Amino acid sequence: MKSTKHSHALNWITYLLIAVTLCMGVIITDRAKAHPSRDMARKVSSELRRQARRSLSAGERTTVILQFQDSIRRGLKIKSDDDDNDGIDESVTLRRYLRQHRAHVTSRFRNLRMLVVEMPISAVAGLGDFDEVKYVSEDPNIKSSGHITSTSGVDMVRNQTVTTTPTAPVGTSGPLSLTLALTQTTTSTTQVGTMTTTSTTTTLGGQGVGIAVVDSGVYAAHKSFNNSSGQSRVIHSQDFTGEGRTDDPYGHGTHVASIAAGNGQIASGAYRGVAHNANLINLRVLGSNGTGKVSSLLNAIDWIMTNHAAYNIRVVNMSLGTPAIESYTIDPLCRAVRGIVDAGMVVVAAAGNNGKSGSGQKVYGQIHSPGNEPSALTVGATNTYGTNSRNDDVIASYSSRGPTRSFWTDVANVKHYDHLMKPDLVAPGNRVIAALSPGSALVSQNPTLNANVSTVGTNNMMYLSGSSMSTPVVAGAAALLFQLKPDLTPNMIKAAMMLTAQQLANHNTFEQGAGQLNVEGAVRLAKLLRPALGASTPTGFPLLTADAPPLAQTTISGHTFVWGGGLIVGRTFATGTNLMTKYQKIYGLGMTFGDATVEVYGALMVDDMTMSDNVILSDSILTSNGVVMTNGVWFCSTSVLLNDGITMGDGITMGDGVLMSDGVLLSDGVLLSDAYTQANSALLNGDDSDSMPVKYDR
């Protein structure tokens, strides 16, 4: 009996030890989640790790942006708990971890697979241990960053005759009719044998195309936004700042919107926008003082992904940016932009206004995010000196230069820089006159910005400068091309603009990209593009409906220039006649011009896709002589950019300027209306040169 009792006692002790061990195991496992391994630490941004080291209080809290892996593509086996039914499949253990640390999910972006989480700084590092987490970054602040139609060539292409001949794309045997979303004025039909050719005369103004202006709001009642019936073309407005208003007390977004789509009903058309009949979608992410949060911008992007079809949003204008510190491969804003482009929209992003130091010295490597994203069409600013002729145009000294200096850090704490060639294009941006929002804080604080065009508040105009102003010039041009050919992909839009751009003499590729926007050339080339090109079209298939490419030159206001004829691709540029005459796989959806540029066994590869023959990559960055992209003098070799991005060291001198270190901008940590940097010097004063001529509204 005694031995039986002893046996029972041993059994109970054994069970108790097992239970304690299991409990200890759970405790140890949960504690381990709070201390990520060295491999997982790189999934948390260096800035957040720095904040954690400097935190003086265990309870100090911060807001982070949590990106998720694509679990299907990654093959992850995760027991998910998607009780919000929003497609974000965080694991049960991750939800438990967030609850344990009293974290609060403040926003969920289903289309972007991202969360915004407010939590203790001390617990952020632990997020890196979860398999479904791709990257964790901070939620920084953001700020907002007339003769335009003449000097850009827009006025030359307003009235278009589009000849539509049924063309059979590859893989089909019969004719294909092309439907154009145009406002028709006259139509004629000609019968040639069994083939019917239709000619349509139309006014290019962006009719039916939606341009999303993601900015400080739009004053929808301004006369610049009326249609021919007097109704506003601002067809939707939404606030993402939490201020509960969609107008523009700051004044930046209204100015930007009218450059893209002002109607020209004021001062006899002196300040007409590029796409003067396009619809505007006003998405307000910057508050009354011109600042906001990246999470607000992500919220607006998520909204665009859900609603773009309802408003026919084909172009998204982002005249704003944040310091491009994290590589575009992990930056949540860049990843979100990539999603928009893959959905068929052109995202036009400002390069920034950090092109010179406080002492006036040229600065390289200051491209903003999301302008450092390869799929974005990144725009720098030119100074036209207020003239329509382009023979005196130069790069504005404040316009940000490449290469991109965003980076990722490996487990050995080595930084790998992106070093992409940016900007893609440049466009007029110096002391541009466009719509003034009544009560604008910018004008209230700086009265000299008021152009005093009219005594009527809804008709008045103001001056602003910066790549914030050049960006909507390109956005409006994209809307014109989408009106002309609705089936174009974002990359075909980019290609048409870059191939026909004007090279500006004495400026290198880091300053001007493919050159200055030439709308006349882009429209003329786009009219010849074959319809229904897509995923099934083979590389090298004829790109144009014509037997020969168009004459590669344009004359604007008496000045004739040759098209640059090149594309910005990754860390260099590509040239060759086949870029204009043969279909390239990178022109399709889901591709970029810049993720990879290599040559394998004699075949040129861009974005891991084979290019056709007669396409070459440059082995150097040139200072242009003002003709084609391959003409000019050596500036620096691409060998400093073409490996994994480590070679080019911090602070290295680049010819006539200084390469800035680690992507740290002059206003670190703030998302800027790109025209707002350097203590507003670009925004307020421009390039200290002639401005647009003022014409008064009578």
pLDDT in tens, 510-534: 999 999 999 999 999 999 999 989 8
pLDDT tops 90 at residue 90: no
User: Average pLDDT, stretch 353-368?
Assistant: 88
Q: Give the pLDDT of residue 672.
A: 55
**Amino acid at the residue 100:** Q
Catalytic residue among 89, 129, 139, 215: 215
**DSSP label at residue 156:** G
pLDDT tops 80 at residue 178: no
**DSSP label at residue 640:** G
Give the confidence band of 52 by pLDDT, cuts at 50, 70, 90.
confident
Residues 6+ apart with CB under 8 A from 177: 164, 166
String of DSSP letters for 298-349: HHHHHHHHHHTTTTTEEEEEE-EEB---B-TTT-HHHHHHHHHHHTT-EEEE
Q: From CA 233, how far away is CA 341, in angstroms rounded? A: 24
Give the confidence band of 73 by pLDDT, cuts at 50, 70, 90.
very low
Q: From CA 338, how far away is CA 588, in angstroms rounded? A: 14
**DSSP label at residue 24:** H
pLDDT tops 50 at residue 321: yes
Catalytic residue among 232, 400, 468, 691: 468
Of 90-99, 426-435, 637-646, least confident by mean pLDDT is: 637-646
What is the chain's mean pLDDT, rounded? 82
Q: From CA 474, how far away is CA 317, in angstroms rounded? A: 9
Is the pLDDT higher at 478 or at 13?
478
Query: For the chain, which domains are there?
Result: 38-139 (3.30.70.80), 205-685 (3.40.50.200)
Q: From CA 139, how far away is CA 133, in angstroms rounded? A: 16
Give the confidence band of 654 by pLDDT, cuts at 50, 70, 90.
confident
Tens digits of residue pLDDT in 29-40: 332 333 333 444
Q: Give the pLDDT of residue 75.
A: 41
Of 98-112, 209-223, 422-436, 592-606, least confident by mean pLDDT is: 592-606
Q: From CA 579, how far away is CA 589, in angstroms rounded? A: 17
Q: Give the pLDDT of residue 679.
A: 37
Q: Give the pLDDT of residue 698.
A: 57
Of 68-82, 135-149, 639-653, least confident by mean pLDDT is: 68-82
Answer yes or no: 468 catalytic: yes
Catalytic residue among 147, 222, 252, 276: 252
Q: Give the pLDDT of residue 291.
A: 82
Tens digits of residue pLDDT in 550-559: 999 999 988 9
Sign of the Cα pseudo-torsion (657, 659, 660, 666, in order)? positive
User: Average pLDDT, stretch 149-154?
Assistant: 68
Residues 6+ apart with CB under 8 A from 534: 588, 589
Q: Give the pLDDT of residue 209.
A: 98
Residues 6+ apart with CB under 8 A from 21: none
Among 395, 351, 421, 414, residue whose Cα is nearest residue 620: 421
Q: From CA 457, how far away is CA 232, in angstroms rounded? A: 16
Answer yes or no: 215 catalytic: yes
Q: Give the pLDDT of residue 56.
A: 67
Q: From CA 587, how far away is CA 436, in angstroms rounded? A: 38
Orientation of helix 2-33 relative to helix 92-100, angle to 10°:
80
pLDDT tops 80 at residue 165: no
Q: From CA 196, how far away is CA 208, in angstroms rounded? A: 27
pLDDT tops 50 at residue 626: yes
Is the backbone of residue 295 left (phi > 0), alpha (psi -120 to 50) or beta?
Answer: alpha
Answer yes or no: 139 catalytic: no
pLDDT tops 60 at residue 268: yes
Give the confidence band of 71 by pLDDT, cuts at 50, 70, 90.
low
Of 36-45, 258-267, 622-631, least confident by mean pLDDT is: 36-45
E strands along 1-132, which residues?
61-68, 104-109, 114-120
Which 3 state secondary structure label does DSSP give 6?
helix
pLDDT tops 80 at residue 597: no
Q: Give the pLDDT of residue 524.
A: 96
Q: Give the pLDDT of residue 357.
A: 83
Which 3 state secondary structure label does DSSP give 147?
coil
String of DSSP letters for 416-479: EE------SEEEE-SSEEEE--TT-HHHHH-GGGB----SSGGG-EEEE-SHHHHHHHHHHHHH
Give the confidence band of 439 by pLDDT, cuts at 50, 70, 90.
very high
Which of 48-52, 178-182, 304-308, 572-576 is predicted most confidently?
304-308
Is the pLDDT higher at 147 or at 36?
147
Q: Give the pLDDT of residue 410.
A: 84
Cβ(507)–Cβ(635) below 8 Å: no
Q: Give the pLDDT of residue 657.
A: 82
